[in-house]
Amino acid sequence: MSEPGRVNPVETAVKTMPKFLIDVPHDPDVLACARVVQVFLASGSHFLTNADWGCMDGEHRAWMLVEVDSRSEAQSIVPPGLRAHATIVQLNKFSMDQIDDIMRRHSPKPAVSREDAGVSSGPP
């Protein structure tokens, strides 16, 4: 069904996968903690085996940054027993242009250009 000639290289390059932070908390109990780590490492999932843990710093959670198509796909990475407590946050980046635009729209008066013009004229 797909024709090889119809691949659009621009579209492929521009399209970026959404990025999600998966936060999976677990019980601070030593055995519970070890069990969760074991589940992750034994899963064979690239995402789970590469998770970052806060346990050694007293923060019993695992974090993963994943790029997948959807939130539900991110959710499916989490082992079923831990899914209910997992938090999934879709991440975005801001560009300076975006921030400038937001600031412009939310600031009461764009007085910057007027001050600029006044500074050079006249002694203090």
User: Where does this chain bind Zn ion (CB under 5 A)?
Assistant: 33, 55, 60
CB of 33 to Zn ion, least distance (A): 3
Q: Measured from the CB atom, is 55 or 82 closer to Zn ion?
A: 55
Q: Measured from the CB atom, is 27 or 101 closer to Zn ion?
A: 27
CB of 25 to Zn ion, least distance (A): 9
17-20 long-range contacts (CB < 8 A, ≥24 apart) are 17/67, 17/68, 17/69, 18/67, 18/68, 18/69, 18/70, 18/90, 19/65, 19/66, 19/67, 19/90, 19/91, 19/92, 20/65, 20/66, 20/67, 20/68, 20/71, 20/74, 20/88, 20/89, 20/90, 20/91
CB of 43 to Zn ion, least distance (A): 16
Q: Measured from the CB atom, is 37 or 68 closer to Zn ion?
A: 37
Q: Measured from the CB atom, is 55 or 68 closer to Zn ion?
A: 55
CB of 21 to Zn ion, least distance (A): 18
